[in-house]
Structure 1
Amino acid sequence: MFRWVVRYLLLATLLMLGVGVQAAVPKPASVVFLNPGHANEPFWVSYSEFMQEAARDLGMQLHIVYGARDTAKLLAAARKVLESSEPPDYLMFVNEQYVGPEILRLFAQSPIKVFAVHSTLTAEQQALVGASREQYRNWIGSLVPNDEEAGYLMASALIESLGQRSGELLALSGVRHTPSASLRQQGLARALAEHPHVRLQQLVYGEWSRKRAYEQARALLQRRPGTDLIWSANDEMAFGALQAVTERGLVPGKDVHISGLNSSEQVLQARIDGRISVLVAGHNSLGAWALVMLYDYHAGYDFSQHGGKDQVAPVLQLIDAAQARQLLKRLAIPGYGIDFRRYSVAYQPDMKHYDFNLHALLE
């Protein structure tokens, strides 16, 4: 304890004198990320790219394994990590298709610290296996986005486009057994409860797929020609809906308003053009912010003292056309123009809470 007090006082003194400070870390932290997506899936590739930039800034060793949306493949990769002759310090996992408890069970006796990112164990799962730092002591925490709020923001903004008139809404959700999809649906339900003049015609599971969403939207629009709004839980499904709408001779943004969620170049341009009426973006940066937390933990700054062991980052926010243009410019800059050390407690010892949001890319 005395050693850390001395180091803190030294860092504080150097900061007061205007001297550049670099956090003293015992050795570079090594991290394996079990990415649940495909190696060519735009969202998860972008997610990994943000993490690689953060690891580069922070001097961390990062290895990413793609699970290709196959639980068996993902668990096989997790076992390989356990059997490695050079195990990492940390394993990051996503509770995609509710695989979290099995990951925790596998690593229960391992010295590897485990961290949930993007989606953590549900309340029902935690009722059975405990929360972080309880039954599984090496499960040190989690960082997830504001998914429920994102679903609510998208739906509310779509409904505003109707003004005071009544309307009909179709909903395209993601994979049924995915916490992110469930939370976004909860946000949709909250918005609809506040606006009873808008009727939910049907909710289907597009499984994050453009092709599947296109086929579903085409069939639904044929049965429900009076559709005014299409709520889509990601950008790929939004583009599927967009194709179905235009094929019917309807004008997106005028005859039918469509929402999307992500920050790919294509969807940002669609928001600028007005083909996508409502866009929420920002969560592809979440894995990078999680690395900042692990960097601090490795340096002796427990993130539980700076916002809690399980945190929700308000990274998802509504993006207007002007912000979409700014985001496009920033995403084209090497490293996105972000110095991830600015958001680290180890580099900023006076910081009380983490400030992870989209403003870093909109400045």
Structure 2
Amino acid sequence: MIGVRGISKGLFATVALCGLSSVAVAADEPTIGVVVPTLDSQFWNRDVTFLQTGAAQLGVHLIVLNADNKPDQMIQSAQDLVARKVDGIISVGYWSTAPATIRFAKRANIPVIIVDTYPAFSPQTGEHTNYIAFVGPSDLDSGYHFGKALLSALKPSPDGKKVIGVVNGTAGTSVAIDRRKGLQKAIEEDGNVRIVGEVDGNFVRDQAQTAFESLYQGHPEMTGVWSGNDPMAMGVIAALKSKGKVPGKDVIVSSMDLNPENVEEVKAGEQLYDIGGHWVQGGIALEIMYNYLHGFKLPADQATIKLKLLPMTKADVPRFVRDFPGGQPNYDFKAHSKVYNKDAPLSPAFDIHYSQ
């Protein structure tokens, strides 16, 4: 399932409670703020659930702020956490919000971990000394694998080409850029692919469905769709059904995230392939932050953590259900923390895999 390592002891922090005078509390119970793009997403709910599991095991007070898919709200949430004098901030770097989050937190000497979408600079470089780590998926690697799975399943059209459409995520994000680079790698290796068009689904189901309906209307010859994430894949599947097509038969769909409804789509054969498990990134970041607050700093050369993810075909669904009940790994945060286990290595090492 998932193996990890990390963390250590002590100190005190000062926090303000309900606007009253500051009181000293043990850093064994730090307050850590989390900013996520939206809790309307199955993915981000799984991410937060794993964070909450870790917080309960480690004795962390967790504040989770939902930005409702609004870039300005992401920044406002970071400012709110700074005003609350949290001990650390874990934030998703959507819409290029990471630099501002890091900057606001630095003024208050608050450490920050960015997850999922990284800024243009590495942790602990230049003036960004409070940016202690990045944790997220290896998007290029993942984009390559679900692209390769799609292309391997397609039969060439009469002109000898495998004909696909592409539904990209939010333009300009590292997530969308790297996943598309992964697809390009798979295309170049195949050498026999024709892309009839690309649309931006903004990582959202409804937008992807509308955009893909227009794309498919103009290019009904496509037999495969590479979708940048699972919500968009659900939009593609809905669009295909509205056109009287059978997903998985008339048009093959491949995607990423391992959202619950997409696992069901893979099981039903309407989605060929999925890859994911990076909803553990929040919990991993929590463990690293807990380390840091107890005096164990992750070395700069180990501070960028790119997760290799869990692949899924129809045959893998029973294994996934067994190994990740409710979508959560069986993971003991204390056993992998130096605060509780002196033999735990400082640098986290993560491996998401099936048990058999």
2-side partners of 1:275 and 1:348: how far apart?
A: 48
TM-score (norm. length: structure 2): 0.85
**Larger deviation: 287-296 or 24-33?**
24-33
2-side partners of 1:349 and 1:336: how far apart?
A: 22
Q: Is the 8 A contact 2:199 2:215 kept in 1?
A: no
Change in CA separation of 1:79 and 1:333 when aligned onto 2, cut-off 3 Å: closer
- The correspondence of residues 163-242 of structure 1 with structure 2, limited to 5 A, is 166-242=161-237
How many residues in Structure 1 have an aligned counterpart in Structure 2? 330
Matched letter for residue 182 of structure 2: G
SS at the partner of 2:126? coil
Aligned-pair distance for 1:134?
2.7
2-side partners of 1:335 and 1:234: how far apart?
A: 19
Query: Which of residues 318, 327, 349 is equivalent to 1:325?
Result: 318
Aligned-pair distance for 1:146?
0.5
More helix by share: 1
1:160 aligns with 2:152: yes
Change in CA separation of 1:118 and 1:348 when aligned onto 2, cut-off 3 Å: farther
Matched letter for residue 58 of structure 1: L
- The correspondence of residues 63-78 of structure 1 with structure 2, limited to 5 A, is 63-78=63-78
Unaligned stretches of 5+ in structure 1?
1-21
TM-score (norm. length: structure 1): 0.83
Identity of aligned residues (%): 23
- In angstroms, what is the RMSD of aligned CA positions? 2.4
Change in CA separation of 1:163 and 1:303 when aligned onto 2, cut-off 3 Å: farther
Query: Which of residues 126, 136, 142 is equivalent to 1:134?
Result: 126
2-side partners of 1:62 and 1:266: how far apart?
A: 28
Query: Which of residues 139, 143, 149 is equivalent to 1:151?
Result: 143
1:356 aligns with 2:350: yes
SS at the partner of 1:261? coil
1-side partners of 2:128 and 2:8: how far apart?
A: 29
1:47 aligns with 2:47: yes
SS at the partner of 1:258? strand
Unaligned stretches of 5+ in structure 2?
1-6, 12-27
Q: Is the 8 A contact 2:208 2:236 kept in 1?
A: yes
Q: Is the 8 A contact 2:90 2:115 kept in 1?
A: yes
Change in CA separation of 1:211 and 1:334 when aligned onto 2, cut-off 3 Å: closer
1-side partners of 2:334 and 2:305: how far apart?
A: 19
2-side partners of 1:348 and 1:191: how far apart?
A: 43
Change in CA separation of 1:201 and 1:34 when aligned onto 2, cut-off 3 Å: same
- The correspondence of residues 284-363 of structure 1 with structure 2, limited to 5 A, is 284-304=279-299, 308-314=302-308, 316-332=309-325, 336-346=329-339, 347=341, 349-351=343-345, 353-359=347-353, 362=355
SS at the partner of 2:274? strand
Aligned-pair distance for 1:198?
0.8
Higher relative contact order (CA 8 A, sep 6+): 2
2-side partners of 1:34 and 1:111: how far apart?
A: 18
Equivalence for 2:118? 120
